[in-house]
Amino acid sequence: GDSVTQMEGPVTLSEEAFLTINCTYTATGYPSLFWYVQYPGEGLQLLLKATKADDKGSNKGFEATYRKETTSFHLEKGSVQVSDSAVYFCALSDDGDSSYKLIFGSGTRLLVRP
Amino acid sequence: EAGVAQSPRYKIIEKRQSVAFWCNPISGHATLYWYQQILGQGPKLLIQFQNNGVVDDSQLPKDRFSAERLKGVDSTLKIQPAKLEDSAVYLCASSVYMGEQFFGPGTRLTVL
């Protein structure tokens, strides 16, 4: 079945460092790909998405490119801030699945130090 | 616009007891999802409603879990009897059909 694998955390960075969180997926159809973020004490929020190959999703300085050839959707940010400390989840929704449910990776905790 | 509301936020029960969680989706959202998030894992779909009909409950442990969405608005998820492995955060999400899912704050359940 469909699945998402993302790098284990925690990832600890200094402020203004470059961030990459790796995400790869397995899907039988043509999935849409998402990054969700969960700040401490808050619910899951959609950070960005891409619906087809070579699409780039971006928001709040974060970017991810849908790479069909490598089945990847890595999250990047050029300069992280302390306020970016959160848990990041990669997810897919298989367009061949009529329920459009989200399948999540296990999450990567990011800690940014001043 | 009000977000997805869930209650209670926290619940502690002993094994074999029953528990119920409530979710009020965003107004106008026909699709409602319940996810289970075990510590250290990503959320996993338990059940999805489209209005008051079930679209997907393939991963719902039906011997102990039940859910309903009367009148196609609010939803209740029940566990009876609870097991230790049911300790998790239960997330409710809603969306318009095929749209972005918006998540509530979750209910953290601890089973002792």
Report the residue of chain A nearest B59, measured CA to CA. A101
DSSP B32-88: EEEEEE-TTS--EEEEEEETTEEEE-TTS-TTTEEEE-GGGS-EEEEESS--GGG-E
Q: Is the C-alpha dihedral spanning B35, A38, B14, B86 positive or negative?
A: positive
- Residues constituting chain B: 112
Closest by Cβ to B55, choosing from A44, A49, A99:
A99
Using the Cβ of A105 and the Cβ atoms of chain B, whether some distance falls under 8 Å is answered with yes
What are B23-75's pLDDT values in tens digits?
999 999 999 999 999 998 999 999 999 988 999 999 999 999 999 998 889 99
Instruction: Return the bridge partners of A65, or none.
Output: A56
What is the full per-residue pLDDT of chain A (114 aa) written as tens digits?
889 999 888 999 999 999 999 999 999 878 999 999 999 888 899 999 999 999 999 999 999 999 999 999 999 999 999 999 999 999 999 866 666 789 999 999 999 999
pLDDT (0 to 100) of residue A97: 62
What percent of chain A shows pLDDT beyond 90?
82
d(CA B67, nearest CA chain A) in Å: 17
Contacts of B2 in chain A (CB under 8 A): none
In A, which residues are within 8 Å of B55 by CB distance?
98-99
Question: In this complex, which of A46, A98, A104 lies closest to B43 when CB atoms are compared?
Answer: A104
Q: Give per-residue pLDDT as tens, B73-98.
A: 999 999 999 999 999 999 999 999 77
pLDDT in tens, B49-58: 998 899 999 9
B4-21 pLDDT tens trace: 999 999 999 999 999 999
